[in-house]
Structures are given as structure tokens and as C-alpha cells.
């Protein structure tokens, strides 16, 4: 751990619990796509899957078949 990082960590630990939580959330968000970006991506994926299902590009299975296969697999 670099001296700078150690210093920042020590300063962060001196914050209130609420401020540490806000800092942690901010740091995590900086590592990942924003929640909005994720929601947009999932909405697009959902639309693509519904379109593919509606057009017959992907197969469908009855619930009875799905559960029967699950039971066979779990045995």
C-alpha cells in the first residue's frame, strides 16, 4: 500500500459512519457503470429477448417440462 493510500485510508477512517458510507458508495460507483447505465442496458436486453421470443428466434418450454428437467437434474 502506498503512503498516499495509507494516508487517505487513515483520514477516511476518521470520518463519521455516514460520511464513510457516502465515500464508499462514491468509490464503488467510480469503479462501475452508473446505476442508470445498468438499468438502460437491462432494459435493452429485455426488449431484445422479448423481440426474439415474439419472433420465434428463441424456443419456449412449458413450465411442466422445465420442472421435470430440474427434478431429473437434481436426482
pLDDT per position as a tens digit, 9-64: 999 999 999 999 999 999 988 887 777 888 899 999 999 999 999 999 999 999 99
- Residue 33 three-state SS: coil
Give the contacts of 72 (CB within 8 A, at least 6 positions apart). Answer: none
Q: Long-range pairs for 56-64 at CB < 8 Å and ≥24 separation? A: none
Q: What's the rounded Cα separation, in Å, for the pair 75 and 72? A: 5
pLDDT per position as a tens digit, 35-47: 788 889 999 999 9
The C-alpha cell at 12 is 477516511
Amino acid at each position: 500500500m502506498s503512503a498516499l493510500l495509507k494516508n487517505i485510508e487513515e483520514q477516511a477512517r476518521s470520518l463519521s459512519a455516514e460520511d464513510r458510507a457516502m465515500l464508499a458508495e462514491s468509490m464503488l460507483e467510480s469503479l462501475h457503470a452508473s446505476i442508470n447505465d445498468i438499468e438502460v442496458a437491462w432494459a435493452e436486453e429485455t426488449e431484445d429477448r422479448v423481440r426474439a421470443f415474439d419472433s420465434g428466434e428463441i424456443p419456449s418450454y412449458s413450465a411442466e417440462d422445465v420442472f421435470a428437467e430440474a427434478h431429473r437434474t437434481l436426482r
